[in-house]
Amino acid sequence: MIHREQHGSVTVLRVEHGKVQALDLELCLELADVFEHVDEWEATRAVVLVGTGAAFSAGVDLKRVLDGGAAYTDRFLPALDRALGALFRCPKPVVAALNGHAIAGGYALACAADLRLMARGKGRVGMPELAVGVPFPWLALESVRLATPVEHLQELLYLGQTYDADAALARGLIDEAAEPDALPRRALEVAQRLARVQPAAFALTKRQLRQSSLDAWKHQSAHETMVRLAWAAPDTAEAIRAYLESLKK
């Protein structure tokens, strides 16, 4: 699911999982396993995370949520938290190269990285969870909140719109837009620049920026319980079915 390539001091992690890298239990567990061990990779000074084909990640696999019900969401949501947490607190620089769609959980994953570059074209970014009818897990929303200019945050979350690369750049949702053929090279260049920063200095600075969020996350058990109950509720399942039907149209 996750292919690893070494380019000098930069490790490129390419996600290949189904047609659109949809986040399911298995992918979240593998992402967590990878990012929980990145600090042990001595040759790695920075990481590029990229998807395959037309999507970085199109978000949570909603069909699996419907098919699995509460038994699945009770396992999936903690795995999603674990994956986001491992990326969010990774001490090494991480550049998200959005080769295509980064929607909902896929965009939250990108926001947990340090910088976001996006290919121009048909790909879009956004957080349509409320349009789908599901609440945000705490760390997913916190990752997006920290990465989004405050003047565009409510528009992003409440309206559930998605944006192409140039519109996303104008709103500060990404840091740079590139032509599709140039994205891999440009993401590698940015990661190589970050790799030249003294590792301990970078890790401590990143920790200072994010530690208050990680500390707050430890005290969100009541919120996460409510999120899990909401995801497993019958009316949520109906809302998800309606959303999936709307995508077909």
pLDDT at 126: 97
pLDDT at 247: 80
Collapsing DSSP states into helix, strand and coil, what is residue 105? Answer: helix
Evaluate if pTM is beyond 0.85.
Answer: yes
pLDDT at 245: 87
Could you tell me if 58 and 24 are in contact, meaning their C-beta atoms sit under 8 angstroms apart?
no
Determine if residue 17 is left, alpha or beta; phi over 0 gives left, psi from -120 to 50 gives alpha, anything else beta: beta
Would you write out the chain's pLDDT as a tens digit for each of its 249 residues?
999 999 999 999 999 999 999 999 999 999 999 999 999 999 999 999 999 999 999 999 999 999 999 999 999 999 999 999 999 999 999 999 999 999 999 999 999 999 999 999 999 999 999 989 999 999 999 999 999 999 999 999 999 999 999 999 999 999 999 999 999 999 999 999 999 999 999 999 999 999 999 999 999 999 999 999 999 999 999 999 998 888 876
The CATH H-level (homologous superfamily) assignment of domain 2-181 is 2-enoyl-CoA Hydratase; Chain A, domain 1 (3.90.226.10)
Distance CA 227, CA 201 (A): 36
In sign, the C-alpha dihedral spanning 195, 197, 198, 203 is negative
The domain locations on the chain are 2-181
pLDDT at 125: 98
Distance CA 24, CA 75 (A): 10
Q: Where are the alpha helices (DSSP H) in the chain?
A: 25-35, 62-88, 105-112, 129-132, 138-147, 150-159, 165-170, 183-195, 199-217, 221-232, 234-248
